Structure 1
């Protein structure tokens, strides 16, 4: 039930390149988050109070605002898919954070899954030698750390009692969008012309890319171990590669197909196992 969220995020690469205004990643991120959050809150009609005012700001920044900003910085400064490879450090961060803050046990199987996940994404997106940009590498690591910390703290703090999932999702989307808004206006500004295709692209990002997918994602964080959720995020580059092959005539080599298989294996290894029957039962 949680895997469709990162799968939808994988489709946003295709939507962004084909339907959105070019070279405006911050605009895409802001439009994706802020209107979606406002739509959810218009139906939920609930606002955070007390300690949840600053908690929502922290979670919205980690899960959405800072994460998307750093992700786009890394994508623009690191060629050859190296940003995606560095982002695979995210499950490793979760492995440590979940042990520290959630008392989730670290098992050898989890360490193996982390190594497989990084290797699988490397096979999928890495293309030859690349020059490493220090700012880009730092942004990619920062994005991985933001996502990992966001997953961990969302699970640690839990959704407040009496607050529905749409409201909880909307709070974070609005907070993340407000963090992104000043960067969007100062760095990119507003577009001077918007086509009908652009409107369709933005509508997709707001509806499936944010309202639906983030609600599914936060529901998954509530119900799964933090590490299991973090590995599901690795399906995003898999879906992006498959859609590129189907719709953009991009090639899928044998190493890339092997990478997809390795990523799926790593995600399955990280998922919780059902408890076996008790002895004597």
Structure 2
């Protein structure tokens, strides 16, 4: 029987595994040249669905906190993610995210006072090296704007992870996820209308299938699992699980899209999985019920 921590790690890992399908879904099912539309239709319907289920709005300072987290974790991240997905070959945009665990570990050591152990640093460096092996073997032109967008998205989500952990969650993960998806989605809607406008042609059946999958499975379900993990695991552990996304993306690109896959990329994947294993074996210094205690204190 799995321990509670192992089960929590496995359920949290579902989120980056599902996110790894974003790049293939984008290139195969979504209309070209509409990254902001894709980001908006991924976030807003998912947030509306979760808000309909939980039927609870933020209170007090959680109005502005939800907006900040919504922009970092959803709004800015989604926009940059889809720009990168449109401008880079499948999997490469996600691979840039290999720097995220190291960034989160550094931020968490300063903001959350989590221990930045040699083991975590070594695992972070190994993760970057592993994804670099995968990237360098990809026979594709790297677009500068696409790479910058991928890096910007990584930094945005890294900041969001640390702030989410610092501020805690005043309600169940489903509820706080709804708030962030709504605020992030509304921000994306404003940006989309300003820069892209509404679609000039009707969406096809394939487009609708792609958007529905990304919104319900890749966002509503995945983010509830992700924020649940953030609440109960330390920030570094959660961030390292995010490395599963590029692994899934590159494997799907090879199996489904017929992209080149070399022995060096295989070595890179092995190194990445090793770095994840090393990081998650480092136990969180905080007990698993810390966030639950904070919630009880705030709701008295």
TM-score normalised by L of structure 2: 0.84
Greater Cα shift, 124-133 or 188-197: 124-133
Say whether the 8 Å CA contact 1:56–1:175 is kept in structure 2.
Answer: yes
Residue 80 of structure 1 deviates from its aligned partner by 9.3
TM-fit CA distance, 1:77: 5.8
1:1-281 equivalent positions in 2, closer than 5 A: 1-75=11-85, 83-84=93-94, 86-126=96-136, 127=138, 133=144, 138-160=148-170, 163-191=171-199, 192-273=201-282
- 3-state secondary structure, aligned to 1:3: helix
Partner Cα distance (2:263, 2:90) in 1:
18
Shift of 1:172: 0.4
CA distance in structure 2 between the partners assigned to 1:240 and 1:229 by the alignment = 19
Q: Supply the distance in 2 between the matched residues of 1:122 and 1:228 (Cα, whole angstroms).
A: 21
- The RMSD of aligned alpha carbons is 2.2
Task: Identify the residue that residue 278 of structure 1 maps to in structure 2.
Answer: none
Q: Secondary structure at the match of 1:50?
A: coil
How many residue pairs align between the two structures?
272
Report the alpha carbon displacement of residue 83 of structure 1 after superposing the two structures with TM.
4.8
Alpha-carbon spacing, 1:205–1:90, altered in 2? closer, same or farther (3 Å)? same
For structure 1, the residue ranges without an aligned partner over 5 or more in a row are 276-281
Hey, what's the Cα distance between the residues in 2 that align with 1:43 and 1:81? 33
Deviation per CA, 1:39-59: give whole Å up to 9, x if none. Answer: 100111100010100000010
In structure 2, the gaps of 5 or more residues are: 1-10, 285-300
What is aligned with 2:4? Answer: none
Cα deviation 1:99-131 (Å, max 9, x = unaligned): 112111011111111111111111122336967
Deviations 1:66-115 (A, max 9, x none): 11223344455667976545432222221121111211101111111111
Q: SS where residue 12 of structure 2 aligns?
A: coil
